């Protein structure tokens, strides 16, 4: 049914041919597309989800400071790209359901359970889907980084890295090469021995993420302005946390992981 | 009440042979024991005041309001059963909103009183319901100026210059009758209202009480800020709000003093009489 | 017809031909069709140091006809909020009724609590998003402007008929998003720039933008309303575009009376 509605990127300029004799037809579309790109990478004990902060409609930049990554509670992050109104609604709904879970069961939801829940939420709107691609991240029960990726209606799988949104096609091959080490070979083997993708340290991944965005900004008009980067990491061991309040706060708010957000600039042209 | 026990008092919608609806009369009894509540229609607005007995020291001062805002320009005070009053107020609020939806205008006080009168009356007709155990005093102002109505459990309502209901209504009414309400201003009125509540208060039975008092005013200086932010909306410029704290406290202080002095004079007079007798 | 706010009421079919939507035709029956009838054009808003200013002209158009010339499109909601609406005027009036009822209900408890701009904006955005979910949109794009009575923090946000919301130092709906926003952004590129913009300069800036819109937006009017919200509350006023110069029109073929 989604295809029945007009999406903005297929909009055409008004026709200069006189079509006055034909009956006028106009179907309003409940959908729009706000551009932007998000990216998630899972490491052995961390997750990074990042997104640009530009929100646009057609050729207009609506704002340069829109966040696409949301803290939905219990140490879980949700990135959404597509139609921002649907994305924000989805984030509110997920946050609410994660909160409900905690109140009902007196424990934090696991990221894999939350992943299934998100799938159900999306499928519940199978015939009027949320027009956004969600990317859910957190640490699983073993403390290992997990990224779950979805299509509009709830198909999902766990992946190591994924880019969604306007410049996904630009970033994906870059991630293939830099994260999954595709087409890279062990030096001195004359291209016989492929490099094996392994556990990249988080600071290295953050650099890759930033490079991915700065490159996407150069080549895609809907990407730019600012970078919102959210890390989910394991909490420091309890004895290392001297501050009693900090311990309390973590018990209350965080599930498997601790969230930190870093904002930085991207080109604004 | 000679017909009590004849069976005609068990159901609404059944008259007694001498033409009475006992359920309604019992409902009125519920009000007669309610808190003294008065309304004064002044020259430049309307005042509602209520004697609120402090039934427990655990109650937060100023809580359990008996006077409610129904629309920006209307307030209703109820005396009698509190839950019945709440339901009555909710209905009045719905009526006020429905009126503005239909007519893009603030509901006139007479119209609201009429609708609420009909609503109360409908609860006297059916065996499945009981009448409201409240008397409601409706205060507001519209294009015709200030308006004051009192609706009884039977559905009967009249417009008044001054109205009183509840336990101390007799004393209050005789005090109100002494006022020249068509000349009285709101600022004078709040003092009279406070005094009347004190006069009607029964010292012997009840001890502590507080006065709850609201008015309907057009004075921009006191008018509730949140309401005055409604320029451009459906609003006739009148505001129902609590009487400013300082004014109410001053009025209560003066009222208390006046009543105490009167009591002393009475005592003195009695004392003099006694001396005369002695002589 | 164009579903973007800036397309409302134009282009004129008799000049450019009807909007060709044949490529959109689906085999399924159309269940809901709606379009704005009487429309208002742009609304502008800019945050400045200690407050926010919002402006909208007083024209309500019926297609290309300037049908009404004294329409108030700014509504004060409570003590520290002003809502400005572009798009369908009847939908705007319906929204005013909802806001009116919202305020009255807020009044019932007789406490000190008051609705401020963020709450009003969220309320409107929920209404618009829910209506779009019902395929029965309120055809508006709306700016909510306000200031916090305690902190003076200015608030400015946008919501449209799909429930799309965003906030920025300067915002404009409709044609203003194309003509005014570039000018506004030159002065207030970010929040820091707002903090060093005086109220007086903000007023001048809006005046300038309204003038540009009057020159270039054929659905705009010469009279407009403005409102400033600071921690002290709302001040409103009306303005008229002065010192006009249409000299440039002589140079442009098809703009004025020409014999060529």
Indicate if the pLDDT at residue A159 is higher than 50: yes
- Residue A217, by phi and psi: left (phi above 0), alpha (psi -120 to 50) or beta? alpha
When pLDDT is cut at 50, 70 and 90, the band that residue A237 belongs to is confident
Are C61 and C219 a contacting pair, CB within 8 Å?
yes
In this structure, the number of other CB atoms found within 10 A of the CB of residue C103 comes to 22
Indicate if the pLDDT at residue B152 is higher than 60: yes
CA distance B197 to B49: 8
How many Å separate Cα A199 from the centre of its chain? 21
Alpha helices in C108-236 (DSSP H): 117-133, 176-179, 181-187, 191-195, 199-216
Would you state the structure tokens that stand for residue A42, as one six-digit string? 């899972």
**Dihedral, CA atoms, B166, B171, B174, B175, nearest 10 degrees?**
-100
Pairwise CB contact (< 8 Å): B226 & C99: no
CA distance A194 to B176: 101
Closest CA to A144 of A234, A210, A245, A53: A234
What is the C-alpha radius of gyration for chain C, rounded to an integer number of angstroms?
19
Pairwise CB contact (< 8 Å): A63 & C166: yes
Question: pLDDT tens for residues B185-220?
Answer: 999 999 999 999 999 998 777 678 999 999 999 987
Kindly tell me the burial class for residue A189, based on how many C-beta atoms sit within 10 Å of its own C-beta (0-12, 13-18, 19 or more): exposed
- Residue A164, by phi and psi: left (phi above 0), alpha (psi -120 to 50) or beta? beta
Residue of C27, C33, C41, C165 with catalytic role: C33
pLDDT for residue C153: 97
Would you state the structure tokens that stand for residue C149, as one six-digit string? 């009575």
Q: How far is C91 from chain B (nearest CA, A)?
A: 14
**DSSP character string of A183-199:** T-B-TTSTT-SBPPP--
| Chains near C (3 or more Cβ pairs under 8 Å) | A, B
A3 neighbourhood in chain C, CB within 8 Å:
26
Write out the H or E segment, with its range, that includes residue B196: helix B186-200
Alpha helices in A166-265 (DSSP H): 168-178, 202-219, 244-253
- Least confident range from A77-86, A217-226, C239-248: namely C239-248
pLDDT for residue A3: 44
Indicate if the pLDDT at residue C256 is higher than 80: no
CA distance A103 to A82: 31
Helix (H, G, I), strand (E, B) or coil at C115: coil
**Dihedral, CA atoms, B227, B228, B233, B234, nearest 10 degrees?**
60
Mutation target vs A (from C91, C126, C139, C163; most A CBs, 10 A cutoff): C163
Closest CA to A226 of A42, A35, A55: A55
Are B227 and C107 a contacting pair, CB within 8 Å?
yes
pLDDT for residue C43: 98
Q: How far is B64 from chain C (nearest CA, A)?
A: 11
pLDDT for residue B265: 77
Q: Kind of pairing, strands A226-233 and B145-151?
A: unpaired
pLDDT for residue A81: 98
**DSSP character string of A126-169:** TTS--SEEEEEEEE-TTS-EEEEEE-TTS-EEEESEEEEETTHH
When pLDDT is cut at 50, 70 and 90, the band that residue A250 belongs to is low
CA distance A182 to A161: 13
Are A50 and A149 a contacting pair, CB within 8 Å?
no
ipTM of the complex: 0.86
Are B77 and B213 a contacting pair, CB within 8 Å?
no
Sign of CA dihedral C72, C74, C77, C78: negative
Which one is predicted more confidently, B165 or A27? B165
pLDDT for residue C254: 73
Question: Nearest Cβ partner of C79 from B72, B226, B233?
Answer: B226
Catalytic residue list contains C144: no
Chain C residues 102-121 with a CB less than 8 Å from chain B: 103-104, 106-108, 110, 114
């Amino acid at each position: 049914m989604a295809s029945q509605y007009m999406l903005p990127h297929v909009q055409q300029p008004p026709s200069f041919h006189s079509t006055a004799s034909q009956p006028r037809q106009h179907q309003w579309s409940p959908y729009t597309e706000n551009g932007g790109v998000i990216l998630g990478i899972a490491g052995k004990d961390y997750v990074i989800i990042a997104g640009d902060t530009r929100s646009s409609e057609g050729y207009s930049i609506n704002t340069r400071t829109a966040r696409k990554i949301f803290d939905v509670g219990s140490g879980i992050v949700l990135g959404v790209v597509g139609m921002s109104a649907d994305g924000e609604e989805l984030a509110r709904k997920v946050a609410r359901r994660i909160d409900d879970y905690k109140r009902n069961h007196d424990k934090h939801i696991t990221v894999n359970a939350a992943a299934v829940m998100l799938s159900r939420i999306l499928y519940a709107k199978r015939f009027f889907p949320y027009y956004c691609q969600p990317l859910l991240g957190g640490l699983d029960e073993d403390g290992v980084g997990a990224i779950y990726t979805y299509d509009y209606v709830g198909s999902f799988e766990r992946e190591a890295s994924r880019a969604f949104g306007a410049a996904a096609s630009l970033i994906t091959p870059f991630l293939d090469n830099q994260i999954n080490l595709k087409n890279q070979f062990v030096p001195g083997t004359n291209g016989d021995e492929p490099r094996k993708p392994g556990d990249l340290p988080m600071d290295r991944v953050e650099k890759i993420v930033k490079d991915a965005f700065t490159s996407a900004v150069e080549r895609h008009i809907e990407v730019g302005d600012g970078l919102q980067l959210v890390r989910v990491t394991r909490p420091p061991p309890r004895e290392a946390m001297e501050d009693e309040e900090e311990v309390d706060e973590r018990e209350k708010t965080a599930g498997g992981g601790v969230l930190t957000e870093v904002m930085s600039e991207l080109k604004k042209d | 009440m000679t017909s009590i026990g004849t069976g005609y008092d068990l159901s609404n919608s059944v008259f007694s042979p001498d033409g009475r609806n006992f359920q309604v009369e019992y409902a009125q009894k519920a009000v007669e024991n309610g808190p003294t509540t008065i309304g004064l229609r002044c020259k430049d607005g309307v005042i509602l005041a209520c004697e609120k007995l402090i039934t427990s020291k655990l109650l937060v001062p100023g809580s359990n309001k008996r006077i409610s805002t129904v629309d920006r320009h209307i307030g209703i005070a109820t005396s009698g059963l509190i839950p019945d009053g709440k339901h009555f107020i909710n209905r009045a609020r719905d009526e006020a909103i429905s009126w503005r939806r239909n007519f893009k205008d603030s509901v006139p006080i007479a119209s609201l009183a009429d609708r609420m009168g009909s609503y109360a009356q409908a609860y006297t007709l059916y065996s499945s319901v009981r009448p409201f155990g409240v008397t409601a005093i409706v205060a507001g102002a519209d294009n015709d100026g200030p308006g004051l109505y009192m609706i009884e459990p039977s559905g009967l309502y009249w417009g008044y210059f001054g109205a009183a209901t509840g336990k101390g209504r007799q004393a209050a009414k005789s005090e109100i009758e002494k006022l020249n309400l068509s000349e009285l201003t709101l600022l004078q009125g709040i003092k009279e209202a406070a005094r009347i509540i004190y006069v009607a208060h029964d010292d012997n039975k009840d001890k502590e009480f507080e006065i709850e008092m609201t008015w309907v005013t057009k004075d921009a200086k006191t008018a509730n800020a949140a309401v005055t932010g409604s320029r451009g909306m459906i609003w006739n410029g009148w505001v129902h709000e609590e009487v400013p704290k300082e004014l109410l406290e001053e009025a209560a202080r003066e009222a208390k003093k006046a009543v105490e002095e009167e009591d002393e004079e009475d005592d003195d007079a009695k004392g003099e009489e006694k001396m005369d007798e002695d002589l | 017809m164009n579903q973007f706010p800036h397309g409302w009421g134009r282009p004129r079919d008799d000049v450019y031909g009807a909007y060709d939507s044949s490529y959109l035709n689906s085999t399924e029956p159309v269940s809901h069709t709606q379009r704005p009838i009487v429309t208002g054009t742009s609304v502008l808003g800019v945050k400045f140091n200690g407050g926010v200013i919002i402006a909208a002209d007083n024209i309500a158009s019926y297609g290309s006809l300037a049908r009404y010339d004294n329409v108030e499109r700014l509504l004060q909601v409570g003590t520290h909020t002003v809502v400005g609406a572009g798009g369908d005027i009847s939908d705007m009036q319906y929204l005013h009724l909802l806001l009116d009822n919202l305020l009255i209900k807020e009044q019932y408890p007789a406490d000190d609590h008051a609705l401020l701009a963020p709450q009003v904006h969220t309320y409107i955005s929920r209404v618009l998003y829910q209506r779009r979910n019902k395929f029965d949109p309120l055809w508006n794009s709306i700016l909510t402007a306000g200031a916090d009575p305690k902190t003076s923090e200015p608030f400015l946000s946008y919501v449209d008929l799909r429930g799309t919301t965003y906030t920025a130092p300067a915002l404009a709906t409709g044609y203003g998003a194309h003509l005014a926003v570039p000018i506004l952004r030159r002065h207030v590129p970010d929040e820091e720039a707002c903090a060093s913009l005086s109220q007086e300069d903000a007023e001048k800036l809006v005046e300038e933008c309204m003038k540009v819109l009057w020159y270039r937006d054929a659905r705009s009017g010469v009279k407009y309303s403005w409102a400033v919200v600071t921690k002290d509350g709302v001040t409103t006023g009306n303005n008229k575009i002065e010192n006009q110069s249409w000299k440039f029109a002589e140079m442009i073929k098809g703009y004025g009376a020409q014999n060529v």
